[in-house]
Chain A
Amino acid sequence: MDVSLCWRPPAWTVGEKRMRTAPTLRRLLSALTLLHVMVQVNSQKRGALRDLKCTTNNLQVWDCAWKAPLGAGHGTVNEVCIDDRLHSCYPLEKGNVKIPALPPGDHEVIVNYLHGFNGSSAKFILNEQNVSLIPNTPEILTLSADFSTSTLYLTWDDRSCAFAHHSKVTWEIKVLRTPRMELINLVTFNTTLNGRDTVHYWRWTSDLPLQCATHYVGIRCYLDHLHFAGPKEWSAWSPLMNISWAPESEAKAFPQDKVVLVGSNITFCCVSQTKVLSGQIGKTFYPLIHLYGQNVAIHIQNISVSENSGTNVVFMIEDNVCGTVVFAGYPPDVPQKLNCETHDLKDIICNWNPGRPTGLVGPRNTNYTLLDSFSGKSVTFKRFETLTNESYQLLFQMPPHQEIYNLTLTARNPLGQSESAILVNITERVCPHTPTSLKVKDINSTVVTLSWHLPGNFARINLVCQIEIWKPNSKQELQNITIKGVENSSYLVVVDKLNPYTTYTFRIRCSTEPFWKWSKWSSGKRHLTTEAIPSKGPDTWREWSSDGRNLIIYWKPLPISEANGKILSYNVSCSSHEEVQSMSEILDPQHRAELQLVKDDYIISVVAKNSAGPSPPSRIASMEIPNDDLTVEQAVGLGKKIRLSWPPDPNVTCDYVIKWCNSSRSEPCLMDWKKVPSNSTEAVIESDQFRPGVRYNFFLYGCRSQGYQLLRSIIGYIEELAPIVAPNFTVEDTSADSILVRWEDIPVEELRGFLRGYLFYFQKGERDTPKMRSLETGHSDIKVKNITDTSQKTLRIADLQGKTSYRLVLRAYTDGGLGPEKSMFVVTKENSVGLIIAILIPVAVAVIVGVVTSTLCYRKREWIKETFYPDIPNPENCKALQFQKSVCEGSNALKTLEMNPCTPNDVEVLETRSIIPKIEDTEIISPVAERPEEISEAEPENHVVVSYCPPIIEEEIANPAADDAGGTSQVVYIDVQSMCQPQARPEDEQDIDPIVGAGYKPQMRLPINSAVEETAAENDADSTAGYRPQANVNTWNLVSPDSPRSTDSNSEIVSFGSPCSVNSRQFLIPPKDDDSPKSNGGAWSFTNFFQNKPND
């Protein structure tokens, strides 16, 4: 397969060609590169040596060269002699001479010339210090490259310096890069010579992928020989070797699929034959760095973490793209929370948290190795995808019989590794599996065995298991058991102290010793324990039937805790001293039996039976132990309970029984009974059947050798209510001042509580009186008698009035409240003595008054005559007629009769008040009182409207004008007339004289205009239906000329009225003269009236 444009299989060849040079050439080069040392030459002035240099590359031979003196040609020197002991001479070769190394110190060297200078010679002094040590040029053995990692590998040997044993050598390596052969790396590398021909290695990783440019490497060395006194110099550079990538026709980007650390700097290049237009990493474009040819690079600094599929680096070429992917991530974090435990002592499970995500997935994801250093075993964890928020887990199979483990977890990825370790005793780190296959097996009704399966080999340790035992309606119970671990995973325990015939739910969990962790709870297992015989006989009671011949046996079903199974039947038997009579079985739902007994004295026994067998018998004597000393007590309960208490009775040996029933039921009455132990002195009876207001009888029995004696009889209520009926009562006897009442008891069912007394009310009242005052208002005329003696059935009410109707009410009450009332009307008899006295006294008084009056009149007859009936003189005898008038006028004594203003009725002013009107008797509502404003509006001037009603009338006249003159005046009159006139009376009068009788006419008529009077009379006639004030209103208005007349107001006034005559005692004193109305400016009021009166 081919990717036709971009993707060619790599067809490059690594440029590993070693540069091999011929030995001759090498020698020549080394000669050329010798460094020269200037030697101080003591020579003759003529023929002095120039540029003398002596070097050595092996410390054995010194190679000296110089330039011939001026004028001397080549080939003129024939030998060089050294002035030493041997005086050895060396032929001169081509301008240089090789001299064996000389001992330390100065040596004279003589150069003999054969020609040119006529056998002349030149001398110089040669010392080791003047000879330079220049090692031979080192040789690169190999240069290779790993293009995937951009690493260069260089090898060379130290053959060139091998002579200098134990000397230190410094190597210098340079790396050059095309196109400009710029030096991109220069490193030094120290070694020590050991005399053998050693190959040295050097590795270097390029920041630029090696494919991007040709890289050259050269090497040289520096020998630091300790015993050589002369100067030491670097060798010449070795020939350069290069590494290059054979470019393909298609463009390609490098490095490929590299994994780098986040934050590092990295260079990418594109090797292309055509022009590269742009370079981008992800979405970001970077400036192109031109390498050589069309190759370009981009450099990114601080690379950020890659997504899963890596970061794409793409170069756009004219007609193509080339790209690569880089994976930037992190080295693995130290594994955190490393925890190792086992479920079954077969495998160790280690969990850990990987810590910081590496950002690398797939083949680059972290792999983990768990190594136990004691056994040397290891397991590896490798996943391609990264687990998020999940702990990693490795399973390590336990070697047999090893308990202590030193576990090291190593995390590795292409960027690095980290590790964490844990030392565990695995027997202390056991978290057992969830127990399975829990089974329950019966041993007997109270003991079962539990078996379960717990996978694992726990033969070496103990297990601690917890059994949860739960039965309905009770708290769960936990039992801890320790069992020896077994190899085959099956466990069995016995659980005892269970209740028979009870459904239990068992479940189990296990841990190990020492405790590390509980396993999960196994699933629950329900189990019903087998039945056992009932632990007790049924609670039994007996009652004689109403005819006293049959004995009815009652018993209660056994509670489940005592039944120990399903009760199938009951056996009832009776026995006397002589015989045992057995009854047939009675099946379960029935809980009573009726026995016909020949004798009275039997012992009845009741046995309950379930499938496991019969219960112990419950025995009860048929006869009751008599008790003469029995009292009936009362008790009232609270809520639905009633508390009964009794003094301790030492005679009671078995128990107490409290039996109760509704008191209204017929015998044998039994609602329920309750047994309490013989040491109790009280019991609380509670039943849902109890109802408030119902009387119950409670009977306390004491047991004495299976026989019961009635100790107490208690009547009680759970809650007392008010009676629902009133007592029936009758009047036994009635006199003029007293009544005797007798009543009956209220039946118990209707009483609904303990009777606490009666309330007796009485008051005057007629049967037909529509409104009888409520009894509760406590009105003063209602008298109440509280009869607390409930045995009292009669009551005499005294001090009553004769011939008066009384209303009598009787009610009963309990602590629950008052019952309804029943009332009756009774009229007392007439009091004859009082009647006689009432007749006699007025008669006597009248006789006495008559006698006294007659006597007085007789005695004072002269005076009376003088006063009332003086002798009338005969006018004929009167001299006055004969006298002048003035004489007659001047003498008052001559007057026969003096006319005085006469007041036919007395008016007495008792008091005046200035308050808001108050009407005491609410039953009599005067329309006048309701209308003062209307009237005052109609007649704003002073105007007195006086209504009358017995016995007391209070009137208020709204009188704005009078406020100025001293406030509103209110006048209270007491009329001379004691009784109210019947309403019909004005009408009667009207019939007689419609005009005159239309209203009251004051006895003294005022002088009025006759025309006005006629008008008034017409008005009166128009409104005869209404009541007329005795004073002629029109008259008053006339005398108050300033007041605006209003017909409406007249009619208002005329038509207002009360059932009683008002005007009959009103304005009995008309204005005496004309001055009076004028003086108060038209305001006519009682105030004025009083003020004016003294003036008169």
Chain B
Amino acid sequence: MACHRGWSLYLLSLLLPLLSPAAPISPAEPISQAYSLALYMQKNTSTLLQTYLQYQGSPFSDPGFSAPELQLSSLPPAAVSFRIWHALDDVERLSRGQEAFLALSQHLQLVGDDQSDLNPGSPILLAQLATARLRAQGLLGNMAAIMTALGLPIPPEEDTLGLVPFGASAFERKCRGYIVTREYGHWTDRAVRDLALLKAKYPA
């Protein structure tokens, strides 16, 4: 029996690299990759928000427009008190980020669809939304790699959007897009800090 168990352990150790060939042994590399991507994303988030607002007409396009009271129940807010944030462990930190960017990537798809109705002749906006979605997915992949490297279970992908409110009015869609692009920026900022912390924790 013991012999059998030893064999199976041995087999497992052989199979693990095969099963996850992309997973490096040290988490430093995926953390560094994710951090670089997050930094790169951070540079473009305000542009995305400004471009988005510019196409929605006044008062959205008015300078200094801000409506922090608008929130989406399906999108976890990035704002968190520093004490709570600091008390988070790596697992929580990473899984919250993953959850948020999963939701964001789905919401960015929804906003892209909304905008192709409202602003079909604006390829710049549509391209920026699509790019933002791809980057969110990329960061998601990087975070999964970190979790794999840390030996953490990867949470299953969930349908965060749920039932899509197709009947949303144009104004609701504009507000929705605003919240998503705004939260995308906030979550990217938060991801940069999260990953910086992890980077310090797991130096190369």
Q: Is the CB of A312 within 8 A of B57?
A: yes
Q: Is the CB of B117 within 8 A of A311?
A: no
Task: Count chain A residues whose beta carbon lies closer than 8 angstroms to a beta carbon of B.
Answer: 38
Q: Is the CB of A325 within 8 A of B74?
A: no
Q: Is the CB of A325 within 8 A of B59?
A: no
Q: Is the CB of A5 within 8 A of B118?
A: no
A234 to B191, CA, bound (A): 76
Given contacts A1-B73, A1-B165, A312-B60, contact A253 B119 (CB under 8 A): no
Given contacts A256-B169, A361-B121, A386-B121, contact A1 B72 (CB under 8 A): yes
B67 on the interface (CB 8 Å rule)? yes
Expressed in whole angstroms, the minimum distance between the Cβ of A277 and any Cβ of chain B is 14
Q: Is the CB of B168 within 8 A of A7?
A: yes
> Which of B71, B72, B167, B171 has most chain A Cβ within 10 Å?
B171
Q: Is the CB of B73 within 8 A of A312?
A: no
A881 on the interface (CB 8 Å rule)? no
Expressed in whole angstroms, the minimum distance between the Cβ of B200 and any Cβ of chain A is 36
A1089 to B171, CA, bound (A): 133
**Which residues of A sit under 8 angstroms from B59, Cβ to Cβ?**
280, 282-283, 312, 314
Expressed in whole angstroms, the minimum distance between the Cβ of A327 and any Cβ of chain B is 8
**Which residues of B sit under 8 angstroms from A325, Cβ to Cβ?**
169-171, 174
B161 on the interface (CB 8 Å rule)? yes
A981 to B47, CA, bound (A): 117
Q: Is the CB of B57 within 8 A of A282?
A: yes
A891 to B168, CA, bound (A): 173
Q: Is the CB of B69 within 8 A of A312?
A: no
Closest to A312 in B: B57
Q: Mark B115-156, 1 if CB is under 8 A from A, else 0.
A: 011111110000000000000000000000000000000000
A365 to B117, CA, bound (A): 10
Interface residues of A in 904-961 (CB under 8 A from B): none
Closest to A253 in B: B171
Given contacts A312-B59, A312-B174, contact A9 B165 (CB under 8 A): yes
A15 to B62, CA, bound (A): 40
A307 on the interface (CB 8 Å rule)? yes
A323 on the interface (CB 8 Å rule)? yes
B58 on the interface (CB 8 Å rule)? yes
A310 on the interface (CB 8 Å rule)? yes
Closest to A284 in B: B58
**Which residues of A sit under 8 angstroms from B100, Cβ to Cβ?**
none
A7 to B74, CA, bound (A): 12
B175 on the interface (CB 8 Å rule)? yes
A886 to B165, CA, bound (A): 179
Q: Is the CB of A384 within 8 A of B120?
A: yes
Cross-chain contact of B170 among A257, A283, A314 (Cβ < 8 A)? A257
Given contacts A6-B70, A280-B59, contact A308 B119 (CB under 8 A): yes
Q: Is the CB of B174 within 8 A of A6?
A: no
Interface residues of B in 154-168 (CB under 8 A from A): 161-165, 167-168
A666 on the interface (CB 8 Å rule)? no
**Which residues of A sit under 8 angstroms from B165, Cβ to Cβ?**
1, 7, 9
Closest to B123 in A: A385
Q: Is the CB of A6 within 8 A of B161?
A: no
> Which of B56, B69, B120, B175 has most chain A Cβ within 10 Å?
B120
**Which residues of B sit under 8 angstroms from A308, Cβ to Cβ?**
55, 118-122
B172 on the interface (CB 8 Å rule)? yes
Q: Is the CB of B57 within 8 A of A307?
A: yes
Q: Is the CB of A323 within 8 A of B74?
A: no
Closest to A283 in B: B58
A3 on the interface (CB 8 Å rule)? yes
**Which residues of B sit under 8 angstroms from A4, Cβ to Cβ?**
71-73
**Which residues of A sit under 8 angstroms from B172, Cβ to Cβ?**
3, 6-7
Q: Is the CB of B121 within 8 A of A312?
A: no
Given contacts A308-B122, A312-B59, A312-B60, contact A5 B170 (CB under 8 A): no
Expressed in whole angstroms, the minimum distance between the Cβ of A795 and any Cβ of chain B is 103
A416 on the interface (CB 8 Å rule)? no
**Which residues of A sit under 8 angstroms from B62, Cβ to Cβ?**
283
Q: Is the CB of A312 within 8 A of B72?
A: no
Closest to B118 in A: A309
Closest to A256 in B: B169
A1024 on the interface (CB 8 Å rule)? no
Q: Mark B61-81, 1 if CB is under 8 A from A, else 0.
A: 010000101111110000000
Q: Is the CB of A5 within 8 A of B57?
A: no
**Which residues of B sit under 8 angstroms from A514, Cβ to Cβ?**
none
Given contacts A1-B165, A321-B67, A325-B170, contact A384 B175 (CB under 8 A): no
Expressed in whole angstroms, the minimum distance between the Cβ of A5 and any Cβ of chain B is 7
Q: Is the CB of A363 within 8 A of B117?
A: yes
B176 on the interface (CB 8 Å rule)? yes
A845 to B133, CA, bound (A): 146
Closest to A320 in B: B69
Q: Mark A351-393, 1 if CB is under 8 A from B, else 0.
A: 0000000000111010000000000000000001110000000
Q: Is the CB of B170 within 8 A of A3?
A: no
Given contacts A307-B57, A312-B59, A314-B59, contact A1 B74 (CB under 8 A): yes
**Which residues of A sit under 8 angstroms from B168, Cβ to Cβ?**
7
Interface residues of A in 298-312 (CB under 8 A from B): 306-312
**Which residues of A sit under 8 angstroms from B70, Cβ to Cβ?**
3, 5-6, 321
Q: Is the CB of A385 within 8 A of B56?
A: no
**Which residues of B sit under 8 angstroms from A253, Cβ to Cβ?**
171
Given contacts A3-B175, A5-B71, contact A312 B117 (CB under 8 A): no
Q: Is the CB of B117 within 8 A of A362?
A: yes
Q: Is the CB of B57 within 8 A of A2?
A: no
Q: Is the CB of A361 within 8 A of B175?
A: no
A6 to B174, CA, bound (A): 13
A324 to B59, CA, bound (A): 12
Given contacts A4-B71, A324-B169, contact A309 B119 (CB under 8 A): yes
Given contacts A3-B176, A5-B71, contact A256 B118 (CB under 8 A): no
Expressed in whole angstroms, the minimum distance between the Cβ of A6 and any Cβ of chain B is 7
Closest to A363 in B: B117
Closest to B168 in A: A7
A319 on the interface (CB 8 Å rule)? yes
A324 to B176, CA, bound (A): 13
Q: Is the CB of B162 within 8 A of A1?
A: yes
Q: Is the CB of B69 within 8 A of A309?
A: no
Cross-chain contact of B116 among A312, A321, A365, A384 (Cβ < 8 A)? A384
Q: Is the CB of A256 within 8 A of B72?
A: no
A10 to B161, CA, bound (A): 18
Q: Is the CB of A2 within 8 A of B73?
A: yes
> Which of B73, B164, B167, B169 has most chain A Cβ within 10 Å?
B169
**Which residues of A sit under 8 angstroms from B175, Cβ to Cβ?**
3, 6-7, 323
**Which residues of B sit under 8 angstroms from A5, Cβ to Cβ?**
69-71
**Which residues of B sit under 8 angstroms from A312, Cβ to Cβ?**
56-60, 171, 174
Expressed in whole angstroms, the minimum distance between the Cβ of A72 and any Cβ of chain B is 71
> Which of A306, A312, A313 has most chain B Cβ within 10 Å?
A312
**Which residues of B sit under 8 angstroms from A3, Cβ to Cβ?**
70-73, 172, 175-176
A283 to B117, CA, bound (A): 23
A386 to B176, CA, bound (A): 25
Expressed in whole angstroms, the minimum distance between the Cβ of B99 and any Cβ of chain A is 15
A77 to B107, CA, bound (A): 85
Given contacts A312-B56, A312-B58, A312-B174, contact A385 B74 (CB under 8 A): no
A-B contact pairs, 30 of them (CB 8 A): A1-B72, A1-B73, A1-B162, A1-B163, A2-B74, A6-B70, A6-B172, A253-B171, A257-B169, A280-B59, A283-B58, A283-B59, A283-B62, A307-B57, A310-B170, A312-B57, A312-B58, A314-B59, A319-B69, A321-B70, A324-B169, A361-B120, A362-B116, A362-B118, A362-B119, A362-B120, A363-B117, A365-B120, A384-B116, A384-B120
Q: Which residues does B use to contact A, with CB under 8 Å?
A: 55-60, 62, 67, 69-74, 116-122, 161-165, 167-172, 174-176
Query: A6-B172, A309-B119 are known contacts; what are 11 more A-B pairs with Cβ within 8 Å?
Result: A1-B163, A5-B70, A5-B71, A7-B176, A283-B58, A283-B59, A309-B118, A309-B174, A312-B174, A324-B170, A325-B171
9 cross-chain pairs, A with B, having the tightest CB-CB distances, nearest first: A325-B170, A384-B120, A385-B120, A385-B121, A2-B73, A1-B74, A256-B169, A309-B118, A282-B58
